[in-house]
Chain A
Amino acid sequence: MSVKEAEVLEHGTSLAHPAHEEILGEQFETLEQQNNAYLIGMWAFIVQEVLFLGAIFAAYGIYRLKYLHEFTLAHKELDWVVGGVNTLVLLASSYTMARAVRAAMQNKHGRQILFLGFTLFFASIFMFNKYVEYSRKYEHHLIPGWGYDAHAIVEHGEKKTILEPTPEGNYRVKLETEKVVTPEEFKQRTQLFMGFYFILTGLHGLHVLVGMIAIGVLIIRAYIDYKKRKPVADYMPVEMVGLYWHFVDIVWIFIYPLLYLIGR
């Protein structure tokens, strides 16, 4: 038994460092334990989120197999340029977020506020683009359940000669293989695609919004710490929001090719 073990056996684990007392929750023994607990907790939450959103991806994949022709036509309605810009913006925001976490770990409040501000700025660009995209879908009557009709998709398909009407009034869709669908089926299945688009991007957008609020709170916190010139600030909230933010970024990394790009 080492001296340290003997000491622990006699008197228990070491008490918290005095400087950590005000940020240490009373259920924890040390700041290390607290930080590790929050880190693992956040990861468990992210695991939960992976399955929450992953289930929609799984469902989307199955319908993509089933209704490949209709989905391929419908996905050409999405603007890959705006989607690409949004990917760019989110990747950049992930970078600034990582820098903000770094600054927080080093207790540099000013730099932390700066990078959090950048992240918030990029996030607002993302949300603005989303707004532009959504309103265009509204103009083309492509919002499911809100006077949805597939005319825009049919017209664009005809223009690109992927889709042509048959004498019976059905649509023939020509990709690697051909498929004939009735207009009613075509409408339902393209609407299903648009449904997945709105559910996925909508839930993702909701996550972005929550992240933006959290970042706003962090900026205020960091400003207070800055004013007080706190020697040891709790960097864990920034780290956790950072993890969340990167996760939201990863979701978009999958949404972009799967919805906007494949078979362009």
Chain B
Amino acid sequence: MEEHTAHHAEGHEHHVVPIHVYTWTLIALLILLIATVGAGFIPMPVWLGTVVALAIAAIKTYLVMANFMHVKFSGKLVWLFAAAGFCWLVIMIIFAYADYITRPWEPVPGF
């Protein structure tokens, strides 16, 4: 940790994160980039390829959010907001896809 600036007396605490956190995050992100490119070229079923790609992207997103965007070092409220955006996107996707995926199950097309 390097020196802190003055005026911390009244409790306004900003967190100065050590440089190595950023550096390791970058390295991890670059490794995951190679992984995602590699996964794209491995022959596998489309659904599996999509799941793998999304999983890697999710890990990368977590790393960027936790370390670069300081979510890890911020209060609960920031967590809550970050999670809300994600959850609502998932709600939208799941409920919309619930329609498309179940349509073939209908007894008569266009029931």
- Mark A residues whose CB is within 8 Å of B: 14, 17, 19-20, 30-32, 35, 39-40, 43-44, 46-48, 50-51, 54-55, 57-58, 61-62, 65-66, 68, 72, 80, 84, 87-88, 91-92, 94-95, 97-99, 102, 105-107, 175-176, 231-232, 235, 242-243, 246-247, 249-250, 253-254, 256-258, 260-264
Contact = CB atoms under 8 A, between A and B. Distances in A.
Contact residues on B (Cβ < 8 Å of other chain), bracket: 35 or more
The majority secondary structure among interface residues of chain B is helix
The majority secondary structure among interface residues of chain A is helix
Contacts of B68: 94-95, 97-98, 242, 246, 249
Contacts of A46: 81-82, 85
A174 B93 CA distance: 28
16 contacts: A17-B9, A46-B81, A47-B84, A47-B85, A47-B88, A50-B85, A50-B88, A80-B37, A91-B26, A106-B5, A175-B46, A231-B6, A232-B5, A235-B14, A249-B64, A257-B56
A20 B11 CA distance: 14
B12 A31 contact: yes
Nearest to A97: B68
B89 A50 contact: yes
Contacts of B36: 256-257, 261
A39 B74 contact: yes
Interface string B81-108: 1101110110011001100100000000
A89 to B, nearest CB: 11
B93 A61 contact: yes
Contacts of A40: 77-78, 81
A67 to B, nearest CB: 12
A46 to B, nearest CB: 7
Give the 7 A-B residue pairs with the shortest CB-CB distance, closest first. Answer: A261-B40, A32-B12, A47-B85, A257-B53, A50-B85, A54-B89, A43-B81
B14 A105 contact: yes
Interface string B44-61: 011001100110110011
A32 B9 CA distance: 11
B101 to A, nearest CB: 8
A232 B33 CA distance: 39
Given A39-B78, A47-B84, A232-B7, A62 B96 contact: yes
A213 to B, nearest CB: 21
A51 B88 contact: yes
Given A31-B12, A80-B40, A263 B65 contact: no
Tell me which of A47, A72, A98 has the highest count of chain B C-beta atoms within 10 A of its own C-beta: A98
B7 A91 contact: no
A66 to B, nearest CB: 8
Contacts of A55: 92
Contact of A263 (B25, B46, B89, B97): B46
Nearest to A177: B46
Contacts of B29: 91, 94
Given A17-B7, A50-B88, 20 more contacts: A39-B74, A57-B93, A58-B92, A62-B100, A91-B26, A91-B29, A91-B33, A94-B68, A95-B25, A97-B68, A106-B5, A176-B46, A231-B6, A243-B69, A246-B65, A246-B68, A250-B60, A258-B53, A258-B57, A264-B40
